[in-house]
Amino acid sequence: MKEIIKYFEKREKFFFIMVAFLSTAQIWLDLAIPQYMNQITTLLNSGADDINSLSGAGIAMLVCAFVSVIVAGILGYFSARIGAGIACRLREAVFHKTLSFSLEELKDYPTASLITRCTNDITRIQSTFTSAPPILFRAPVTAILAIMQMGFVNMAWTIDTTVLVFIMIVVCIWIMKKMRPWIFRMQSRTDDLNRVTREHLTGLKVIHAFGSYDYQMKRAQKVNDELGDAIDKGQAYYALVSPFLTAVSSILSVSIYIIGAYLILHSDMPSRIGLFSDMVMFSSYVMLVVAAFSQIAVVYTSIANTTASVDRVTEVLLTDIRITDGKESEAGSESEDGSIEFRNVNFKYSEKGGRALKDLNFRIDKGQTVAIVGATGCGKTSVLNLIPRLYEATEGEVFVGGRNVKDYKLKDLRGMIGYVPQRSILFSGTIAQNVDYGDNGRFRATLKEIKDACEVGQAKEFIEKKEGDYNARVSRDGSNFSGGQKQRLSISRAICRDPKIYLFDDSFSALDFQTDKRLRAALRKTAQGATVVIVAQRIGTIRGADKILVMDQGAIVGEGTHEELLRSCQVYKEIALSQLSGEEVSALETASSMA
Amino acid sequence: MLLKRLLPWLKLYRFRVVTAVILAFLSSALTVVLPVMIKRIAEEIQKGLSDTMDISQIVKASVISLLLILVSFAFSYILDRLLVGVTVGISKSLREQMGEKVDRIPISYYDTVPYGDILSRLTHDVDTLTGALSGNMVTIFTSAVQVAGCLIMMFFLNWCLAICVVVSAILGIVISTSLSAKSKPRFKAQQRGIGELNGLIEESLSGQLVIKAFNCEEDVQGEFDSKNKELYDTAWRSQFLSSLMIPVMQFSGNLSYVIVCVFGAVLAMRGFAGTTVPVIISFILYARLFSTPLTQISHAYRMVMPSLAAAERIFAFLDIDEMENDDNKDEDKESHALSNIKGDVSFTNIRFGYVEEIPIIHNFSAEVKAGQKVAIVGPTGAGKSTMINLLMRFYELWGGSISIDGVPINSIPRSELHSKISMVLQDTWTFEGSIRENVVYNTPGVTDEKLKKVIEDVGLTYFVDTLPDGVDTIISESSSISAGQKQLLTIARAMLENHPILILDEATSSVDTRLEKIIQSAIDKLTSGRTSFVIAHRLSTIRNADVIFVMKDGDVVETGDHDTLMQKGGLYANLYNSQFERT
């Protein structure tokens, strides 16, 4: 909770004070009403027939009630502003925080869980912060004010009320404590359920093909049952709240009259009428106190749920970000060239896990085209990820433009790099927005530049067939484009930034050979002077590279040109052999030896 | 409307619901009788003002009151438990139904509806609906019974005062419902705003890699902040309007209190309708007993409002047209034609497109003989994966027919068709679970040896051995398993399934070529004697196919084996040669 309070601004704090002030005022008005009832009872018991003083009291009561509703209305306004305000600010804070997460932190949070934290959890906090403060404030203040008023009347009643209210509070807190673990469990099961459902939706074709409906159903059912169980157990405690509060309030009413009977029995005749009127007024106070507490029952579950949500949100807010800006100023970023160097780099994805990269040492000069090949899972993508500092090297140093990547401002470093990930990621919007994406620290592309980039990326042809060409809609995750088209758009996006370093992570896999070839030819022209790092499987894609790094199980096992490696590197030769027929390889070897 | 749709579920819990109704009646009746007891105590005390009071009467009334309170407490607790059970049960079966529904909807539906939207119906909307139900159903129910009970008791005690209480309550209800009607459109606006924002959040979080690499954090934050600001405005307005309902109901409670006091006093002075101070006292209690549940109902109603929108979305999903249920075709003789499947596949004059009026496949015909290894190649967007979608009957043809061993595939149940075909797709699909679960999946009778063998066949033995728990290691979103390794797992899965026809759609695109060669021999073993379809860009993968279909713009432009096509010097030769040319 403390963490959340930090996100209140002056305005919300002011609103809070107003809520406190107005609630007290409203309660004071509500408490005033029974005092007039006291007058009326006395009037009636004395047997007088005084309509005037009666209507006077009646009007006063009405005025109190009316002013009270106006005050409550204003109170509602402030409460709504508090709830919406805190939700707005928290949502912003959590979202900005998750955006600043590096991929390292993201690994600790499944995407689905982060989404629920940004959305459901915050909506929950909003609704609780809107409805709960006036109610929570109201109950104790009513109790205190009423008890104070009563205190002057008679101590016996006051003590009776205080004790019962105290029991009420203690039991409510006890129930809340008992509920908490179940609510936590419920929320983590909800995360699980989201995950399983997501898996079900993404694997739909596989599920149809395998006819594994029952299997899938069983998985979902298990989580569903656990969720139901957690809700059931939590609600078992909650179910106590309302009946308990009703019972205590009824006991309170009855006890007031029993005490009243005792007091009246032991007092002299003349003071009895006064005592009787006090008793009636008192029982009205008690009703108010009880009504205030019974409202707590209404917001009870939402408060209990919210404490769990708050914990989940603060967990995100308190996460340390491991990759942050270096100390260098932006000066110099223009002067850096596109060379890359790895010095004794070791990398692990998690502390306990094995090394994904082992003692990497290599240098790529400015303007070189370098390819990385190697077996599945040998660490090619990990190498690329270290260059824009998406991950941090566990040991050793990575240099870009002769400077340690840790010294750059992240923005400057990434502004130099055009990255094409393995899985094409597109965003809903237009084609132009997707191609001219982000900020390279220098310029925003013109339409012509966008078109040029798409031409190089071999996307021009299909874009211009689309209705609205560069303003054509891209659906979420580019679902209205084929795999090859998405890849070409994703490549065009990198080209459009005019980077000093291109990183292609197996980015040509969905392209047919001819498109692949045309693309690389066009890129060669456009990217003149830029450093290009290509991760690829196809020998055809990489054989023209200035240098090829061959990786095996996280280490570099060969470095050189295609021809050199064919002769010297067994792993590379095997890769090449697996793609070309024996004659072709030997033909290539002769060709290269002749050259 | 909503209730009507939920009724069938309520019927499932008939016994509990009926018990709950009875208990609600009893416990409310007890609560409602309590003021009568208090009235008796007050009457005795009032006697004491001028005379002597009868202590034994007071003690008797007190004891009865306490008993009433305790019994009522027990009843309402049991009642709450019962209703919680019912709502939990309903939400569980609602989820189950929606889960099953997912499998029965035609795949083409998922092309048109954003997948995040379906996800949020299955999770967020069900949460909202059942959350609102479980918290508020109890409240609304018991409160309603209490209100009814109070009404009866009040009219029984004093009809004049009863009318006063009812009138002021109706006043409160009228004002608050008109307020809620006003807040409804704003509420919808708020839900829409939340929806938009959630869409943005989900998209950004799943595209985080690119956002970071392209320095797009600030742009995204900017877009987010402006949407968030808009949401703030609609949120507080809708919250404010709907929050007014509560003070209005409180006011009506106060109003009835005042009227009971003043009007009751007037009646008592005039000695009308037997009004006495104890009657007024019990009426003050009634006025509270009457207005508190009304306030609670209005509060609960406010909570329920967003759930109405959720319910609409849930039932809209459940009402989507389903694929025809074709399991009854089982009885057809034809389906048994496939029990001894040979594996001849023929495509005759196929026409198809995903979007109406935009055909992708114009006129595709081809014959595949049993046991042939068929490769489908062609430029991106030529319709290769579409052929697979059609063979699996994920989509319905526009024209023409596909048949296996001469039996048209639309004349047999889908499940029957799918049980003949193993398929590996380009988009690998793994789920959070152990490697064993991911590979064995739903194939029955897989022994440890068999599993070990298949993992070896796909070249994952080394990888699995380095894992802390071997095949029982849990793989999840956050475990660092490469795209290629995932592809190998899905191939292993299909290998275990071992159906007579095999489809590999770009199944090895992320696997390195050396490994692919190893798997290839395993696949070759698997495909020998079986009909298999292979789609690949990497031409080395398809060189040894028996027949190669070269597709372009939805039609087959060349057919033949590798050598014939190379000699022909057409599109295939062109594609093939381009991988050796230097750029």
Tell me if chain A has a CB within 8 Å of the CB of B419. yes
Q: Which residue of A has its CA nearest to B292?
A: A291
Greatest mean pLDDT among A441-445, A448-452, B132-136 lies in A448-452
CB-based contact B380 A260, cutoff 8 Å: no
CB contacts of A289 in chain B (<8 Å) are none
Region B355-362 average pLDDT: 77
Which of A457, A422, A421 minimizes the C-alpha distance to B483?
A422
B572: how many CB neighbours lie within 10 A of its CB? Answer: 24
Interval B380-416: pLDDT, tens: 667 788 888 888 888 888 888 898 888 888 888 888 8
Q: Out of A199, A439, A513, name the one closest to residue B215 (CB).
A: A439
Mutate to test the interface with B, among A23, A66, A69, A221 (most CBs of B within 10 A): A69
Q: What pLDDT score does A34 carry?
A: 77
Q: What pLDDT score does A533 carry?
A: 92
For residues B253 and B295, is the Cβ–Cβ distance under 8 A? Answer: yes
Q: Is the pTM of this model over 0.95?
A: no
CB-based contact A377 B482, cutoff 8 Å: yes
Tell me if chain B has a CB within 8 Å of the CB of A13. no
Architecture of the domain made up of B2-318: Up-down Bundle (1.20)
Which of A179, A175, A178, A144 minimizes the C-alpha distance to A162?
A144
**Beta-carbon contacts of residue B18 (< 8 Å; ≥ 6 apart):** none
Interval B252-277: pLDDT, tens: 877 888 888 888 888 877 777 677 77
CATH 1.10.10.10 for the A2-317 domain, yes or no = no
CB-based contact B512 A580, cutoff 8 Å: no
Q: What pLDDT score does A113 carry?
A: 76
How far is CA B565 from its chain centroid? 50
CB-based contact A246 B72, cutoff 8 Å: yes
Tell me if chain B has a CB within 8 Å of the CB of A96. yes
Query: Taking the domains of chain A in order of start, what are their residue ranges?
Result: 2-317
Q: What pLDDT score does B313 carry?
A: 80
Query: Taking the domains of chain B in order of start, what are their residue ranges?
Result: 2-318, 350-578
Alpha helices in B319-358 (DSSP H): 333-336
Interval A375-386: pLDDT, tens: 777 888 889 989
In this structure, is the dihedral angle defined by the CA atoms of residues B442, B445, B449 and B450, taken in order, positive or negative?
negative
**Beta-carbon contacts of residue B101 (< 8 Å; ≥ 6 apart):** B317, B318, B320, B322
CB-based contact B579 A99, cutoff 8 Å: no
Q: Out of A54, A198, A462, name the one closest to residue B262 (CB).
A: A54
User: Band of the pLDDT at A334, cuts 50, 70, 90?
Assistant: low
- Res A252 pLDDT > 80: yes
Interface of A with B in 128-157 (CB under 8 A): 130-131
Helix (H, G, I), strand (E, B) or coil at B434: strand
How many whole angstroms separate alpha carbon A418 and alpha carbon A93? 29
How many whole angstroms separate alpha carbon A547 and alpha carbon A584? 21
Ramachandran sector of residue A30 (left: φ over 0; alpha: ψ -120 to 50; beta: rest): alpha
User: Band of the pLDDT at A443, cuts 50, 70, 90?
Assistant: low
CB-count exposure of residue B103 (10 Å: 0-12, 13-18, 19+): middle
For residues A409 and A328, is the Cβ–Cβ distance under 8 A? Answer: yes
For residues A463 and A520, is the Cβ–Cβ distance under 8 A? Answer: no
B156: how many CB neighbours lie within 10 A of its CB? Answer: 10
Interval A155-204: pLDDT, tens: 788 888 888 888 888 888 888 888 888 888 887 888 788 788 878 887 88
Tell me if chain A has a CB within 8 Å of the CB of B381. yes
Mutate to test the interface with A, among B183, B206, B495 (most CBs of A within 10 A): B206
Architecture of the domain made up of B350-578: 3-Layer(aba) Sandwich (3.40)
B400: how many CB neighbours lie within 10 A of its CB? Answer: 16
CB-based contact A102 B212, cutoff 8 Å: yes
Percentage of the residues of chain A whose pLDDT score is greater than 70:
92
Q: Which residue of B has its CA nearest to A194?
A: B123
- Res B582 pLDDT > 50: no
- Res A595 pLDDT > 50: no
For residues B454 and B495, is the Cβ–Cβ distance under 8 A? Answer: yes
Q: What pLDDT score does B338 carry?
A: 61
How many whole angstroms separate alpha carbon A119 and alpha carbon A312? 12
H/E stretch holding B75 = helix B55-104
Q: What pLDDT score does B583 carry?
A: 39
Interval A484-497: pLDDT, tens: 888 889 999 988 88
Q: Out of A212, A260, A509, name the one closest to residue B441 (CB).
A: A212
Hey, what's the torsion of the CAs at A371, A375, A377, A380, to 10 degrees? -10
In this structure, is the dihedral angle defined by the CA atoms of residues B381, B384, B387 and B392, taken in order, positive or negative?
negative
Mutate to test the interface with B, among A229, A246, A444, A518 (most CBs of B within 10 A): A246
How far is CA B271 from its chain centroid? 64
- Res B335 pLDDT > 60: no
Interval B497-526: pLDDT, tens: 878 888 888 777 777 777 777 777 777 777
Helical axes A269-317 vs B126-157, angle rounded to 10°: 170
Interval A512-523: pLDDT, tens: 777 888 888 888
Q: Flag the least confident range among A412-426, B56-70, B267-281, B427-441.
A: B267-281
- Res A230 pLDDT > 60: yes
Helix (H, G, I), strand (E, B) or coil at A410: helix
User: Band of the pLDDT at A353, cuts 50, 70, 90?
Assistant: low
Q: What pLDDT score does B470 carry?
A: 81
For residues B346 and B408, is the Cβ–Cβ distance under 8 A? Answer: no
Interval B360-381: pLDDT, tens: 788 888 888 888 888 888 776 6
How many whole angstroms separate alpha carbon B217 and alpha carbon A23? 42
Q: What pLDDT score does B490 carry?
A: 87
How many whole angstroms separate alpha carbon B264 and alpha carbon A93? 57
**Beta-carbon contacts of residue B15 (< 8 Å; ≥ 6 apart):** none
Interface of B with A in 428-467 (CB under 8 A): 429, 431-433, 441-442, 463, 466
How many whole angstroms separate alpha carbon A552 and alpha carbon A565? 14
CB contacts of A43 in chain B (<8 Å) are 265
For residues B392 and A178, is the Cβ–Cβ distance under 8 A? Answer: no
How far is CA B265 from its chain centroid? 58
Tell me if chain A has a CB within 8 Å of the CB of B97. no
Percentage of the residues of chain B whose pLDDT score is greater than 90:
0
Q: What pLDDT score does A509 carry?
A: 74
Q: Which residue of A has its CA nearest to B514?
A: A575
For residues B547 and B559, is the Cβ–Cβ distance under 8 A? Answer: yes
Q: What pLDDT score does A311 carry?
A: 85
How much is the ipTM here?
Answer: 0.77
DSSP-assigned letter for residue A499? -
Region B91-105 average pLDDT: 84
Q: What pLDDT score does A433 carry?
A: 85
From residue A499, how far is each of A548, B168, B214 by CA, in Å? 21, 73, 10
- Res B337 pLDDT > 70: no
For residues A372 and A380, is the Cβ–Cβ distance under 8 A? Answer: yes
Q: What pLDDT score does B160 carry?
A: 82
Q: What pLDDT score does B145 carry?
A: 80
CB-based contact A246 B225, cutoff 8 Å: no
Beta bridge partners of B121: none
Q: What pLDDT score does B538 carry?
A: 67
CB contacts of A119 in chain B (<8 Å) are 124, 194, 197-198, 201
Interface of A with B in 165-184 (CB under 8 A): none
Greatest mean pLDDT among A49-58, A265-274, B73-82, B322-331 lies in B73-82
Structure tokens at B26: 């009893």
A58: how many CB neighbours lie within 10 A of its CB? Answer: 20
Measured at the alpha carbon of residue A36, what is the angle toward residues A34 and A40, in degrees to the nearest 5?
Answer: 110
Tell me if chain B has a CB within 8 Å of the CB of A49. yes
Count each helix (H run) and each strand (E run) in chain B, helices first.
22, 12
Helix (H, G, I), strand (E, B) or coil at A37: helix
- Res B336 pLDDT > 60: no
CB-count exposure of residue A108 (10 Å: 0-12, 13-18, 19+): middle
